[in-house]
Amino acid sequence: MKGRETDAEPEGGAAGPADPGPALRRLLLLFGVAFAVRLLYLLEIRSAPFFDVLIVDARGYDDWARRIAAGEWLGGDVFYQAPLYPYFLGVVYAVFGRSLFLVRALQSLLGAASCVLIALAGERFFSRRAGLTAGWLLAFYAPAVFFDGVVQKAALGLFLTSAVLFLAARAVERPGKLALFLPGLALGLLALTRENALAFVPLVALWPWFRLRERPARFRLRLIVFFAAGLALVLLPVAWRNVRVGGEFHITTSQFGPNFYIGNNEQADGMYVPLREGRGSPEFERADATELAEAALGRTLTPREVSRYWTGKALAFMRSQPGRWLTLMGRKLLLTWNAAEVADAENLETYRRWSWLLAALSRVFHFGVLAPLAAAGLVLTLGQWRRLWLLYGLLLVTTAGVALFFVFARYRFPLVPVLVLFAGAGLPALWHAARRRHSRAVALPIGMACVVAVVANLPLLAQHGKTSSALMWYDIGSTLGRDGRHAEAVPFFRKALEIDPNHENARFDLGNVLSKCGDLPGAVEQYRLVLSLNPKHAEAHYNLGNLLAEAGDLPGAVRHYEAALAAKPGYARAHYNLGNVRVKQQKYDEAAAQYRAAVRIDPDFTAAYNNLGNVCMLRKQYRHAALHYERVLELDPANEDARRNLAAAREAIAAGERAR
| Helix (H), strand (E), coil (C) string for 74-143 | CCCCCCCCCCHHHHHHHHHHHHHCCCHHHHHHHHHHHHHHHHHHHHHHHHHHCCHHHHHHHHHHHHCCHH
Q: Any idea what the CATH number is for the domain that residue 614 is in?
A: 1.25.40.10
C-alpha to C-alpha distance for 217 and 651, rounded to whole angstroms: 93
Any idea what the Cα angle at residue 474 is, between residues 469 and 479, rounded to 5°? Answer: 130
Contacts of 568 (CB under 8 A, 6+ apart): 538, 574
In a domain, 315, yes or no: yes
In a domain, 534, yes or no: no
Same domain, 269 and 361: no
- Count: domains in the chain: 3
**Boundary-marking domain end, from 456, 491, 518:** 456
Same domain, 443 and 368: yes
Same domain, 219 and 366: yes
C-alpha to C-alpha distance for 325 and 406, rounded to whole angstroms: 13
Pinpoint the alpha helices (H) of 126-255: 128-139, 142-148, 154-173, 181-191, 201-211, 217-246
pLDDT reported for residue 453:
93
C-alpha to C-alpha distance for 235 and 36, rounded to whole angstroms: 35
**CB count in 10 Å sphere of residue 135:** 30
Same domain, 268 and 143: no
In a domain, 510, yes or no: no
C-alpha to C-alpha distance for 85 and 540, rounded to whole angstroms: 38
Q: Which domain holds residue 646?
A: 604-660
Query: Per-residue b/e over 280-297, b at no fewer than 16 CB within 10 Å?
Result: bbbebbbebbbebbeeee
Same domain, 191 and 260: no
pLDDT reported for residue 77:
86
Same domain, 287 and 138: no
C-alpha to C-alpha distance for 54 and 286, rounded to whole angstroms: 19
Same domain, 211 and 248: yes
The candidate with the shortest Cα–Cα distance to 148, out of 201, 105, 178, is 105
Low-confidence ranges of the chain (pLDDT < 50): 1-17
In a domain, 303, yes or no: yes
Same domain, 224 and 166: yes
* Residues 344, 56 contacting (CB under 8 angstroms): yes
Same domain, 234 and 368: yes
* Residues 282, 268 contacting (CB under 8 angstroms): no
The radius of gyration of the chain's CA atoms, rounded to the nearest angstrom, is 30
In a domain, 419, yes or no: yes
* Residues 511, 543 contacting (CB under 8 angstroms): yes
pTM over 0.75: yes
In a domain, 471, yes or no: no
C-alpha to C-alpha distance for 241 and 50, rounded to whole angstroms: 36
In a domain, 7, yes or no: no
* Residues 226, 218 contacting (CB under 8 angstroms): no
Same domain, 109 and 215: yes
Question: Which amino acid, 229?
Answer: A
* Residues 164, 183 contacting (CB under 8 angstroms): yes
Same domain, 269 and 347: no
**Boundary-marking domain end, from 456, 490, 516:** 456
Same domain, 266 and 153: no
* Residues 28, 21 contacting (CB under 8 angstroms): no
Q: What is the biggest distance separating any 2 CA atoms in the chain, rounded to whole angstroms?
A: 118
**Boundary-marking domain end, from 316, 336, 356:** 336
pLDDT reported for residue 180:
86
- CA-based torsion, 112, 346, 188, 170: positive or negative: negative
